[in-house]
Amino acid sequence: MRAAGTLGLIAVSLALAAPAGAIKARINASDEARAKSSVLRISDLPGSSLWKGGQTAPKAPPDSCKGFSPKDSDLVVTGEAESTFTMPGAMVQSDVSLLANPRMANLNWTRTFGPGFVRCITTLLEDGFTRDSASARVLSAGTVPVQRLSTRTTEYRLLYEATVHGTGIPGVTDLVALQGGRTIVTLLVTSVLPSTSADESGVDGVVDDLAQVLAQRAFAQTA
């Protein structure tokens, strides 16, 4: 597997932030259209001609991992859309979900982004590589400063080193989550780094710009 091919594992592993699992789906046309109009488009990406991808069917994430199992059986999602883009050495994924009411969105947020979340996504990333006959070691994981773009905004960064066919591949993954009203947005940006000691600050501008695009679209309507 080439370096770029390993990135899809991270998207599946870290998709836990998007509402799914036992959550009830009662999709309506209006909310589905709103979600689809809010996710990232290829024209939003820097050097858009280099990217491939578009809107994809939302992936069902794992319901839980050991020691972390947020309840979602009492929640209802009424619209959801996802887009995924890849280029050699990088991947961008966005997800916009609308729940039945703001109370449900608040519950989903507080249950997901609480104690145990960082440990869980670290485990999922490392286990995802293991299942694909590779390995990964997360070097650091936690929250990083982020501009407030909605009622609730948080960003997590994982620095890791994957080993594929004996070759070390350092990388960085940023997960930004936004919540306002009954809408929850997640942005996942992953890229390969030249070395484990490389300065990942170059990723910050890209992540910030894409998060602002998502926020402007997703929260233009707050009902």
Q: What is the pLDDT of residues 122-139, one digit of tens each?
A: 888 888 777 667 888 999
Q: 48: which DSSP letter?
A: G
Binned at pLDDT 50, 70 and 90, residue 196 comes out as low
pLDDT of amino acid 39: 97
In a domain, 157, yes or no: yes
In a domain, 42, yes or no: yes
Distance in angstroms (rounded) separating the CA atoms of residues 220 and 137: 39
In a domain, 147, yes or no: yes
Helix (H) or strand (E) holding 188: strand 183-192
Q: Please tell me the least confidently modeled range out of 39-43, 87-91, 92-96.
A: 87-91
**Tens digit of pLDDT for each residue in 27-72?**
999 999 999 999 999 999 998 889 999 999 887 655 567 778 888 8
What's the CA angle centered on 156, arms 108 and 208, to 5 degrees? 100
pLDDT of amino acid 21: 55
Residue 22, helix vs strand vs coil: coil
pTM of the model: 0.88
What's the chain's average pLDDT?
84
In a domain, 103, yes or no: yes
Residue 207, helix vs strand vs coil: helix
Q: How many domains does the chain have?
A: 1
For residue 122, give the CATH number of its domain: 3.40.1000
pLDDT of amino acid 100: 97
Segments forming the whole domain that contains residue 88: 4-194+204-218
In a domain, 223, yes or no: no
**Tens digit of pLDDT for each residue in 153-184?**
999 999 999 888 888 889 899 999 999 999 99
Distance in angstroms (rounded) separating the CA atoms of residues 78 and 80: 7
pLDDT of amino acid 2: 33
In a domain, 95, yes or no: yes
Residue 77: pLDDT above 60?
Answer: yes
Distance in angstroms (rounded) separating the CA atoms of residues 34 and 101: 15
In a domain, 45, yes or no: yes
In a domain, 199, yes or no: no
